[in-house]
Every structure is written in structure tokens, then in C-alpha cells.
Structure 1
Amino acid sequence: MTGTATVEYELVPPDGGWGWMIVLGAALSNMTGQCLVAIFSILFGGKMLSLGFNTTSAAVIMNTMMAVMQFSGLGFGLVAPSGFMVVKTYFLKARGRAVGMYMSGGNVGQMAMPHVVRFLLENYGFTGTMLVLGAVAMHGPVGSLLFHPLEWHAERRPVASEFKPLKGEPDGSTDCPTVDVDRTKLRQPRHFTSVTSLANSELGDVNEAVPVHYSKRLPTTSEEDTSSVRQKPQPVWRRVIAFMDLDLLRNQVYLNVMFGSACTITAAINFSLLLPLYLQRHLRLSMSDTALCLTMMAAGDLVARLTLPSFTDRLRVKPRLTFFVGTVFCGLTRSVIATSSGMVALCIWNALSGFSRGAAMINTNLCVAEVCPEHKLPAGIGFNMVSCGILLLTVGPAIGYVRDETGDYPLCIHLLTVLMLVAMMSWLIEGVVQWCRRKR
């Protein structure tokens, strides 16, 4: 039996079309799930006071909730990475803009929810408010109904063979027995094939994975016989490392990116916890004024997510550079907020802080994708979430303890700024080292 010639195709993402419906569905899920982070202190602040809880207790509750989301596939922790992966799959050139629009759904919820929660608490109390918010969260699964397999909308583009016949070998046949294959074969994108190989291969080495119908044509050497060669079994621990892509943790650049993004996310979550408490208990602002400040921050974040990706895509600005600049300015503006008291100044600086936060957050997973091989991206994002969970369980309660011991909200905000600047300093040092190596 001889194999017949095959025509292979690869799936090219539409970079638009139904992809924008994918963005809409992911944004809707993000809108109904992420808003709880921004309204946590407004929603639970009065309840915790009535129960006698202090800032440390609130920090433990908030950070434990977020850490569980980062560690598992539970709740919104399952929704967030899935939304990013499906949006990323449908876009190439416009990927930054699409991710920004997807993540902006959360900002729409953050803009509206402070005022909605204030209205609900004033009219229906804590129990009624929780019931309404539960109903709002049930609208999230509707967005997932718009998710379609990529094969339904992708362009099928023929690709050239990756292997040519050996010299003296007849074209289309080999000396080794082969199986009949279809004349037309649909080829998945290479990163999908690699992930499949990761699950099916014994060693899990996706870098060396080749299609089966090509591997039959690899030459044999004088030292081996294809009819008798046996693959030496590998130790279980090596299989576990390969299957879970733990070798990523040996990449110092990836570890640096993971550390920087984890510090930024941890600071963002704890700042969202502290800001309403700072505005209400330290500055003695009313609930409506506090909600206005939170809305201004969410509005600035939304503007950044909708506008910046278009410029960065066209100017080909790397995600890590945008993340670096956004994180530095975000930390500085938050420290300015901690020293402000006027309502106009608070609104302006909250808007600028939100804009800076948006510039950083839309590039979090893109920074991981920039330093992580395509076929190991799911594992890279997973490790990044785990590192965030670890910091949340350590830094968050520590910040709450400092607040309870000192009674100083501005000090805690400044400490979060220091955490972000330390992480970005490590990025800067890495950049300088890489530049020096290139100069050599």
C-alpha cells in the first residue's frame, strides 16, 4: 500500500467578522462577573462594621476570594482566562484592540455598579441587594452562547509541505509501509496541534512533535532499525514536568514577567478594597461621592482599553512597554490620591489612575504571550494566575494588618505603590541587561 499525496490547510483567524461577536460575548461575561471587585467595600463595608470586622478581616475575605479565583477554575476564575483565549484565537493583527474591547466590558460594570449598589442598599437593604446582584451575574452565561469553534469562521489556506522526499526516494511513497490518507486534509493551527501532541505524547515534547504521515518518511541511520527501535520509558517526574510545562519556570524572563504582573494585579485588587474605605472613613465622603470617584476611575480605565490598543497595534509598541509605563504612572497617581482631599482633585486623579491601570491590565496576558511559546501559553497564563493567588494571600492580609495597627490609610496605599515600583524596577534591570548583551 502506498500513501497518496495530501493537500494540507491551516486555519487563518478571521481577524474580524464573527470575531467581534466573540468579543461581545466575552465582554458581557466580564461585565457581570468582574464588577464585584470594585464594589466589595461599598457592598460589604456596612455589614462588616456591624459584625465588628476590621480592615485585616476584610482584606482576608477579599484576597481569599480573589486567590481562589486565581488558583482554580471556580467561578470567575474559570471565565476570565477562557474569554481571553477565545478572543486571542480569533484575532491576529487586531488582537490588542480586541482584547481591550473584551476587557472593557468589566469597566462598564464597574462604572455602573457603584451607583446601582448604592441605590439597592438604600432601598432594599443588604439581603435584597445580594439577591439582585446574583440575578445580574446569571446574565453572564448568555455571552458564552456567542462562542463558536474557530473552524466555522476561519479561512482555509493551503500550506506547503514541511518535509521533502529524500534524494533517490520516489515522491509520494516510502520503503516503509504507510496507511492511506485522505486526499484533502484540514490542518489546524500549529499551536492547536502542539497542545494535542502534549496530551497524547509520552514525553510531552511539543517542540519536536511532527505529523504522523510525515514521520514515516524520516531517514534511518546505521545505528538504528525502525522495525526494532523502542522508545526508552522516561521517569514519571519527567513526564509530569513535560505535561504540565513546568520547564517554563526555568525561564528567567518569564519569571520576571510573572512577578511583575502578579505584583500589579495584587496592588490593583487591594487598592480597590482600600479606596472606598479611605474615601468614606478617612475623608468622610458620602456614599454618592464615593460612587462618583469609583465611576471616574472606571471611566478612565474604559477609555484606555478602547483607545490605546489601536495606537499600540499601529505603532507596533510591545505589550511589556505599555504595561511598564502604565504600571509606573498608576502607582504614582494612586499615591497622589492618598494625599488629595478636594472632590475635583479626587475625580481627576482617579480618572488618570484608571487610565493608567487600563493601559497596564489590557496587556497582562499579552505580556505572558510575548515571552511564552505559543503552545505553552495556557500553562504560562495558569502559572501567572497561581503567582497572583500566592501574593494575594500574603500581601493582602499584611496590608490590612498595617492599616489596623497604624490607622493610616494613605500609608497602605503608598506601600502598594512601592510594591508596583519594585516589580517594574526588576523589569527595568532586565531590559538594561538584555540591551548590554545585544551591544556586545
Structure 2
Amino acid sequence: MRRGSSPLLRKPPDGGWGWMVVAACFVLMVCTRAVTRCLSIFFVDFQEHFAQSHANTAWINSITDCNTMLFCVGFALCYSPALVMIDRYFGRRRALAMGIGLSGSGVGTFMLAPIIQFMIVKFSWRGALLILGAFTSNLCICGALMRPIHFKNFAPPEDNEEKLEKTAGNESSLWRRAFILVSQSVSCWLGETHTLVRCPLFAAYLLSLLLLASGCGIPFVYLVPYAQSHGISFQHASLLLSLTGIMSIVGNVTYGWLVDCSFFRRRRWWCYVFAITLEGICSLCLPFAQHVPPLALLAGLYGYFDGAYVTLLAIIATDLVPAHLTPTAIGLTYGIHGLPYLLGPPLSGWMVDQTDSYTTSFLFSGSAILASAMLFAVATLVVSNPGPGGEAKASGQEGELISSGLSGNGAFPRPIGEATVPGMNCEGGRL
């Protein structure tokens, strides 16, 4: 839809059709992240049927998870765009809206885990996968609810879409026009990405995500087989995964509400560090729990803090960049976050094969998560320039513009309430 065909808004509506977008994102998370998380329930069946090691079997979960957030096929085509749409519709209540949308992952995990366990018993693992494939077709409905929205208080120097269409429109060949559109779109994306990674704090954020994603997916993959290895029944082991799902919902919503409060809004980077620190500690403690009660406690806490930090991923990314670069920043954030999913579970599976124990895998997971928290905390202290009381400096009434930006063409504006950046731009300079 072209910008001229819909009214231009001065600031995000913080409601209205935005709640339909949140509902669509909620269902989308059930059909994507919840389904990929529940693949760990198939782990033992896959391993026994194909007679493969833990490392080789873990590639199934790794490729699926990585594809969801990184490669431009399958679930990746709807995951990041849904979060960008929530960011467009919400300003001051953005974290709460993001938390509600992302809680679909926890709700889906809670609901699907026992259902999948029943379907495996009733229809075998092949039948269960066929039913899950049909279930994910609901993504088509979610896509239909994503209505575009545009603003008049900020814009890039030139509308890239119109520029590309103008250039391609001079070509008569359909294939040549398509090639020009694709090549120039890729060139534009590479230019924006290069600009973003030159921001010291955003670059540190991406590096911390690499460490975080290297460890955070491991407990979801190995929790069920770990519990079964200690004599816990398949039904109870599946319920542990459901527990992580329900606590993830609580983490999504409560953390989303918390960081929208005035006191925490400008301190949400530290809320993020706190969440992943405790998540890492929970992972370190998992190999010392061998019975249902302690496993249930740690699984619940792990799920809560996992849901809490996931709510803030896109929020922090948009805090660090100008408004018109938000889609690129969110896509880059989830792309970097998804990359380690390809190698993390197989590497931990190799550790299990070598040591015949899950202890090393969980210790690796917790150490990687804690290293991520430490890296981002140190980068925030070193690079940022907070105002009095640790708060970012901002002035003006609601709807006025603050600079979050990039030098070069000057600082690009973003409406108050959409970003709270501690006084630095993406060239590493001070505002």
C-alpha cells in the first residue's frame, strides 16, 4: 500500500486496529515459535527411529529454529515483520503490546506439548507432524490482519520504494525490472545494515545476542530427554515443557507491563540484563536437579525469564536506532539471534555424546547466557552517556521529537515514547 492511500498519522495510535495486529502476532507465535519449541518432544522418537546420535538429531531443532528467525523462507517471512507491525502501532504501550503478542509462544507451548504427546501416542510421530503442518496454515489469516500504517513526522531523505519503482519503471523487460528491484533493495538493506553496525552500543548488543542465542535454546531442546534419562515418564517430562510455556506467558506480560511503567521505561536495558542473568543461573542449576519438583521449579523460572527477555529484544533494538531504520534493526536483531540456533544444540548434543551426560551442555548454556549479560552490561556502562539518575535526557511534551540518531544527514527524529536512547548516536558520537 502506498503512503498516499492511507492517512498519515503524527504518532502511533497505541490501540485501535493495533490490538488486532497484536492478536494476529499472538496466533502467529503459537504457529511458529511454539511449534518449533515443541519439536523437542519428538527428540527421542527421531533418535530411535533414525538411530542417530544426540548431535545429529539436534540438527532438526537447530535448522527449524534458525530458519524461523534467520533465513528468508518459511516462518522467517512472518516472524520479524509481525514484530515490526506492533512497533509501528504502539508507542508508550509498545512493550506491553509486544509482550502480549510474544506470549503466544508460551501459550502455544503450554497447550501444544500435551496435545503433541497425545498425538504421538495416537497417530505416531509422522501423523503428529502432518497435523502440526495443517495447524500452521492459520498463518495466512494472521497475515491478512497486518494493515499498513504510515506517519508524517519522520521519513527517510527519499522514499526508497518510490525510488526503486521509478528506476525499474524505465525498463521494458519484466525480468530486468525484477532484477533491478531486487538488487537495489539488497543494496539499500546492506547500506542500512552497515550504518547500524557502526553504532557501538548496537554492535555490542548484536554480539551479546550471539552469545545469548548460543545457550538459550539448549534447555528447550534437551529438557524432555534429560528428564526421561532420570526415569521421569514421558508424560511428566512433556508437562515440564508445558510449564516453561505457561511461565513464559507470565514473563512476557508482566515484563512488558513493568518496562512500560515510568520508572522502568528508561531503565529497561538493565531489566533486560537482569532477566538474562537469572535465566543463565537457572540453566547452570538444571544438571543438579534430577527429580520432578526441582526440575519443575527451574523449568518454570527459566521459562519466565526467557519470556521476559524475549519481550525486550525488539524494544531495545528500536531504542538504539532512528525510526525509519526500525524494520532493518529488528530484522537484524532476530537474524543474529537466530544464527547460533543452527550450531548451539548440535554442539551441546556432541557434548552429550562425548560425556554421556547432559551436565556439560547445561553448563555451556548457562555460561554463554551469563557472558551475554556481562557483555551488554559493560558496553552500556562504557558507551552510553546517561543523564542524572541514570535516565536518558529527553525534553518536550508528548508528540515532540527527540533525536535518536545518525549523523551525516543530521539526527533523524523519533516521537517521544517510541525510543529512549541514552544520549548517543549510531556513529558513536554524543548527541
TM-score (normalizing by structure 2): 0.77
Match of 2:12 in 1: 13
> What is the aligned length?
361
What is the rounded CA distance, in whole Å, between the counterparts of 1:149 and 1:388 in structure 2? 26
* 1:234-266 Cα shifts (integer Å, max 9, x gaps): xx9x97687443122222211111122233233
**Matched-pair contact (CA < 8 Å) for 2:46–2:57:** no
Q: Does structure 1 residue 197 correspond to structure 2 residue 196?
A: no
What is the rounded CA distance, in whole Å, between the counterparts of 2:65 and 2:364 in structure 1? 20
**Matched-pair contact (CA < 8 Å) for 1:195–1:375:** no
- Deviation at 1:133? 1.0
Match of 2:198 in 1: 250
- Deviation at 1:338? 1.9
What is the rounded CA distance, in whole Å, between the counterparts of 1:354 and 1:244 in structure 2? 34
Question: Using a 3 Å threshold, how does the CA distance of structure 1 residues 416 and 195 change in structure 2: closer, same or farther?
Answer: farther
**Matched-pair contact (CA < 8 Å) for 1:55–1:400:** yes
**Matched-pair contact (CA < 8 Å) for 1:114–1:294:** yes
The residue correspondences of 1:265-414 to structure 2 (distance < 5 A) are 265-281=213-229, 283-314=230-261, 315-317=263-265, 318-414=267-363
- Deviation at 1:89? 0.9
Match of 2:67 in 1: 68
- Deviation at 1:109? 0.6
What is the rounded CA distance, in whole Å, between the counterparts of 2:276 and 2:207 in structure 1? 13
- Deviation at 1:301? 0.9
Match of 2:171 in 1: none
Secondary structure at the aligned position of 2:217 is classed as helix
CA RMSD, Structure 1 to Structure 2 (Å): 2.6
What is the rounded CA distance, in whole Å, between the counterparts of 1:105 and 1:9 in structure 2? 30
Q: Does structure 1 residue 433 correspond to structure 2 residue 382?
A: yes
Secondary structure at the aligned position of 2:49 is classed as helix
Deviates more, 1:332-341 or 1:353-362: 332-341
Amino acid at match of 1:28: V
- Deviation at 1:201? 6.1
Identity %: 19
Match of 1:82 in 2: 81
Q: Does structure 1 residue 420 correspond to structure 2 residue 369?
A: yes
Question: Using a 3 Å threshold, how does the CA distance of structure 1 residues 342 and 239 change in structure 2: closer, same or farther?
Answer: closer
**Matched-pair contact (CA < 8 Å) for 1:91–1:98:** yes
Gap runs ≥5 in structure 2: 1-6, 165-183, 389-431
Q: Does structure 1 residue 58 correspond to structure 2 residue 57?
A: yes
- Deviation at 1:303? 0.8
**Matched-pair contact (CA < 8 Å) for 1:403–1:412:** yes
Match of 1:147 in 2: 146
Amino acid at match of 1:22: V
What is the rounded CA distance, in whole Å, between the counterparts of 1:291 and 1:62 in structure 2? 16
- Deviation at 1:389? 4.1
- Deviation at 1:401? 1.4
What is the rounded CA distance, in whole Å, between the counterparts of 1:92 and 1:363 in structure 2? 14
Gap runs ≥5 in structure 1: 1-7, 152-187, 203-235
Match of 1:100 in 2: 99
* 1:214-234 Cα shifts (integer Å, max 9, x gaps): xxxxxxxxxxxxxxxxxxxxx
Secondary structure at the aligned position of 1:355 is classed as helix
Match of 2:113 in 1: 114
- Deviation at 1:435? 6.7
Secondary structure at the aligned position of 1:147 is classed as coil
- Deviation at 1:361? 0.8
What is the rounded CA distance, in whole Å, between the counterparts of 1:96 and 1:311 in structure 2? 9
* 1:296-346 Cα shifts (integer Å, max 9, x gaps): 111111111122222221133333222111100011112222211221222
**Matched-pair contact (CA < 8 Å) for 1:300–1:354:** yes
What is the rounded CA distance, in whole Å, between the counterparts of 1:195 and 1:387 in structure 2? 28
Amino acid at match of 2:113: P
* 1:40-99 Cα shifts (integer Å, max 9, x gaps): 121242122221111111222322232233332211111111110111111111111000
Amino acid at match of 1:249: V
- Deviation at 1:190? 4.1
Question: Using a 3 Å threshold, how does the CA distance of structure 1 residues 239 and 72 change in structure 2: closer, same or farther?
Answer: closer
What is the rounded CA distance, in whole Å, between the counterparts of 1:80 and 1:259 in structure 2? 21
Question: Using a 3 Å threshold, how does the CA distance of structure 1 residues 125 and 13 change in structure 2: closer, same or farther?
Answer: same
What is the rounded CA distance, in whole Å, between the counterparts of 2:245 and 2:195 in structure 1? 38
What is the rounded CA distance, in whole Å, between the counterparts of 1:436 and 1:248 in structure 2? 19
What is the rounded CA distance, in whole Å, between the counterparts of 1:340 and 1:84 in structure 2? 36
What is the rounded CA distance, in whole Å, between the counterparts of 2:91 and 2:258 in structure 1? 15
- Deviation at 1:198? 4.1
- Deviation at 1:104? 0.6
- Deviation at 1:371? 1.2
Match of 2:42 in 1: 43
Deviates more, 1:96-105 or 1:369-378: 369-378
Question: Using a 3 Å threshold, how does the CA distance of structure 1 residues 50 and 270 change in structure 2: closer, same or farther?
Answer: same
* 1:106-163 Cα shifts (integer Å, max 9, x gaps): 1111001110011001111122111211121112222233222336xxxxxxxxxxxx
Question: Using a 3 Å threshold, how does the CA distance of structure 1 residues 379 and 146 change in structure 2: closer, same or farther?
Answer: closer
* 1:360-385 Cα shifts (integer Å, max 9, x gaps): 11101111111122222222223223
What is the rounded CA distance, in whole Å, between the counterparts of 1:246 and 1:111 in structure 2? 40
**Matched-pair contact (CA < 8 Å) for 1:59–1:270:** no
What is the rounded CA distance, in whole Å, between the counterparts of 1:294 and 1:390 in structure 2? 23
